[in-house]
Amino acid sequence: METEYVLHDFEPIYDERSQILMLGTMPSPKSREVGFYYGHPRNRFWKVVSDVCREPLPETKEEKITFALRNRIAVWDVLAGCEIRGAEDSSIRNPVPNDMSRILKAADIRAIFTTGTKAYQLYKKYCYPVTGMEAIGLPSTSPANCRMSYEELYEAYLVIQKYI
């Protein structure tokens, strides 16, 4: 698979009531195809977060937005653009970070979480020096993280309950 330059073209999900910010790295090819965050059918993000919030799994884009806002969860990605091969975070080159102040100025964000190691590393390098807010790294919900069981993911994501 070829490396391509990808621009992030989804709007972040947030409002003035958002209290936590969940950051992925960059939308995968499947997410870009469906036009929304964590769009791969085997990505476990929406399932684990809805289970942690003790709510039914949101299915449609509209249900996911409503769910996130109702639970005071902002969703975005660390990067606005980068060179990447498919969905391989390890192939990322020339990253351009998103401007987190867009959300941080509008909402009282109490905690920032990254969904995966690469998102955490990129946030720490490019965003933390600007925001001054530490991020809490959570495991990736991607199907590529098949070594982690759903139960282990759920246990790791329970930490968000303290902030919402």
Catalytic site residues?
A: 43
For residue 9, what are the contacts with CB-CB under 8 A and spacing of at least 6? Answer: 32
Angle between helices 45-52 and 150-157 (to 10 degrees): 50
Angstrom distance (rounded) from CA 59 to CA 75: 16
Strands ordered across the beta sheet of 73-77: 73-77, 20-24, 111-115, 135-138
C-alpha span between 155 and 62 (Å, rounded): 27
Q: How many CA atoms lie within 13 A of 101 on its CB side?
A: 6
Q: What's the full length of the chain, in residues?
A: 164
